[in-house]
């Protein structure tokens, strides 16, 4: 790092701030004032266009979003003005692939609220209006991987797979099969079936949602085969009648269940359990389950109670991952729920409208972040075959990857090239306005050993050319964006060191951005992380991500002001002063 001052920044993701609190301009000023008091000198503000805000208004109509927008108009413009009045830099952050949350609702549930969604296997996706009118521009599945006519193919065998060869306590009298026609309430079926147990060899290395080893290729694993079935129901769930939480039959959701049709042909399926990120309390008796939203790597225990009072949606930890249900539906989703394809010219033009809006808002620069909530799936490798992508691949390599054999490495690089067309156009537009382009490098999802919890947060089957961004100075600064690792782990990691080496050699300032939750509500720990990053000598700044974690975002204090969490922001101020940060 050269003589540039170490910069303390904070990221405002304003829908989180105003989800439950009705913000006024005075409350926004209180937030900006507290950031400046802490030592923050740059504010990053996630950009949302009008259609995004329409989505937030309908998604949480009972919260503070509607009244906040009535009070402020465009929150980003208010935030920019207040930041500039206090001498702070103000950067907009756009997330090109963000267009709604990757979870579906039963169609009847959305219809009751007057919402029209886009159809998926588990229900309808609630997306922003621009995407709703152009669903074909979302990232598209490979046609050769989309099965047809599965609704008329009966399920004749279900196989349940344990992660190891430990003894089973499940007996025929313990298993139950529940079904649903619309994933909106399941009923137990009185079915005759046969159950047999056996040992098979694990065909692949299995990791959980965080990348922790579960089973290794060649391991013996115990299986249960349910035969004598003839099920045409769209949604099929397997449960047990155990009422305790002492079960041991566990595996990741995608590895636990397999379905077979006539002549014992394997059927393509998407899976679900009682786990969900959004609307997390689920009960198959009365509601829906979450299919194909990137939770397939979460550990599930089957031989435990499936009653609502028993499950707690633990995403990791085989020793404490109750669910009591594993469910599946036939097929594959034809599109990612909301993410748009970078190969579509209309999509890149839409993104450029966002860039223009940010420039018009008077920002000091623009940062681009790839991770989002709209690309979550358990099968990322089958997406990214939109017609412009397929046509460019065929022009370069002589084969249509949508229907013919293809090289995934070449396809990923090609899609990265198409994404870079947008970045170059954005930089040119910004440069004409005298503004810089910055870009996030996703240090936990760009790495070759990325965990499923991180790869789901961006489109799969695409290589983002971060080295090219640095070496060509496409971005004037870069942010190393992490989600779970503290600075001590990150700065001892070989991949992160490689990124920092590239940034240093290219003369590109690099900042570290981490969620407040990495340090919890311990302000001293947060201050320690900032100091550790500063003293490493390898980074030019630290971004506190996100501001809504700094205060009680459910309600204001008794005095009507934002109630900042005691002991969280004060140590950051003291440490910034100790370090002599500007």
Which pTM value belongs to this model? Answer: 0.94
Residue 521 has pLDDT above 60, yes or no: yes
Cis peptide before 71 (omega within 30 of 0): no
Handedness of CA 141, 290, 104, 234 (dihedral sign): positive
3-class SS at 172? helix
Structural element, H or E, at residue 28:
helix 25-38
Give 425-456 pLDDT, tens digit per residue. 999 999 999 999 999 999 989 998 898 888 88
User: Whole-number mean pLDDT of the chain?
Assistant: 93
pLDDT band at 101 (very low <50, low <70, confident <90, very high): confident
Give 455-468 pLDDT, tens digit per residue. 888 999 999 999 99
Average the pLDDT over each of 75-84, 397-406, 484-493 and give the range with the smallest value: 484-493
- Which residues have CB under 8 Å from 270's CB, separation 6+? 121, 122, 291, 292, 328, 329, 331, 332, 333, 378, 379
Query: Domain spanning 7-138+341-579 has what CATH number?
Result: 3.20.20.80
Residue 316 has pLDDT above 60, yes or no: no
Mean pLDDT score, 67-88: 97
Packed helices 345-360 and 408-432: angle between N→C axes, nearest 10 degrees: 30
Amino acid 309: pLDDT: 52
Which segments of 414-553 are extended strands (E)? 437-442, 477-481, 510-515, 541-545
Closest by Cα among 334, 370, 338 to 134: 338
Provide the 10 A C-beta neighbour count for residue 63.
Answer: 18
Residue 337 has pLDDT above 50, yes or no: yes
Task: Judge contact between 322 and 314, C-beta under 8 A.
Answer: yes
* Domain residue spans of the chain: 7-138+341-579, 150-330
pLDDT band at 62 (very low <50, low <70, confident <90, very high): low
Percent of the chain with pLDDT over 90: 82
What's the per-residue H, E or C state across 291-350?
CCCCCCCCEEECCCCCCCCCCCCCCCCHHHCECCEEEEEECCCCEEEEEECCCCHHHHHH
Handedness of CA 326, 330, 332, 337 (dihedral sign): negative
């Amino acid at each position: 790092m050269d003589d540039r001052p170490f910069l303390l920044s904070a990221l405002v993701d304003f829908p989180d701030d105003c989800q439950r609190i009705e913000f006024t301009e005075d409350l926004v000023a209180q937030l900006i004032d507290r950031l400046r008091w802490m030592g923050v000198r740059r504010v990053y503000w996630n950009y949302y266009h009008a259609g995004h805000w329409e989505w937030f208004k309908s998604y949480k109509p009972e919260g503070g979003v509607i009244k906040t927008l009535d009070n402020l108009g465009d929150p980003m413009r208010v935030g920019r003005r207040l930041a500039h009045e206090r001498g702070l830099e103000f950067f907009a952050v756009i997330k090109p692939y963000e267009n709604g949350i990757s979870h579906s609702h039963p169609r009847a549930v959305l219809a009751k609220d007057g919402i029209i969604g886009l159809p998926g296997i588990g229900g309808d996706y609630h997306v922003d209006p621009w995407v709703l009118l152009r669903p074909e521009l979302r990232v598209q599945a490979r046609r050769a991987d989309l099965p047809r006519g599965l609704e008329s193919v009966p399920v004749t065998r279900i196989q349940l797979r344990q992660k190891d060869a430990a003894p089973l306590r499940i007996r025929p009298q313990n298993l139950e099969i529940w079904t649903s026609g619309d994933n909106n309430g399941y009923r137990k079926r009185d079915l005759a079936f046969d159950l047999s147990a056996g040992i098979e060899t694990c065909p692949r290395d299995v990791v959980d949602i965080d990348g922790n080893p579960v089973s290794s290729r060649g391991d013996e694993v115990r299986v249960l085969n349910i035969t004598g079935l003839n099920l045409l129901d769209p949604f099929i769930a397997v449960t047990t009648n155990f009422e305790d939480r002492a079960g041991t039959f566990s595996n990741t959701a995608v590895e636990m269940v397999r379905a077979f049709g006539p002549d014992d042909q394997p059927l393509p399926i998407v899976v679900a359990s009682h786990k969900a990120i959004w609307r997390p309390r689920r009960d198959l008796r009365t509601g829906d389950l979450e299919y194909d939203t990137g939770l397939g790597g979460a550990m599930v225990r089957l031989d435990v109670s499936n009653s609502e009072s028993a499950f707690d949606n633990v995403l990791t930890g085989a020793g404490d991952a109750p669910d009591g249900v594993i469910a599946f539906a036939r097929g594959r989703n034809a599109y990612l729920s909301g993410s748009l394809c970078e190969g579509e010219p209309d999509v890149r033009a839409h993104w450029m409208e966002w860039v223009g809006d940010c420039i018009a808002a008077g920002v000091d620069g623009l940062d681009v972040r790839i991770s989002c909530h709209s690309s979550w799936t358990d099968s990322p490798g089958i997406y990214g075959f939109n017609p412009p992508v397929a046509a460019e691949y065929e022009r370069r390599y002589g084969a249509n990857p949508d229907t013919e054999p293809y090289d995934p490495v070449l396809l990923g690089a090609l899609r990265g090239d198409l994404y870079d067309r947008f970045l170059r156009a954005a930089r040119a537009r910004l440069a004409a306005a005298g503004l810089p382009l910055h870009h996030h490098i996703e240090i936990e999802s760009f790495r070759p050993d990325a965990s499923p919890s991180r790869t789901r947060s961006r489109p799969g089957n695409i290589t983002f050319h971060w080295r090219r961004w640095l070496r060509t100075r496409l971005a004037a600064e870069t942010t190393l964006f992490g989600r779970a690792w503290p600075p001590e782990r990150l700065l001892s990691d070989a991949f992160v060191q490689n990124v920092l080496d590239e940034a240093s050699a290219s003369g590109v300032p690099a900042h570290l951005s981490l969620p407040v939750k990495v340090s919890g509500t311990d302000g001293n720990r947060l201050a320690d992380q900032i100091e550790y990053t500063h003293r490493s000598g390898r980074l030019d700044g630290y971004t506190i991500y996100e501001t809504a974690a700094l205060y009680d975002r459910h309600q204001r204090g008794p005095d009507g002001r934002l109630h900042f969490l005691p002991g969280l922001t004060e140590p950051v101020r003291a440490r910034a002063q100790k370090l002599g940060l500007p």
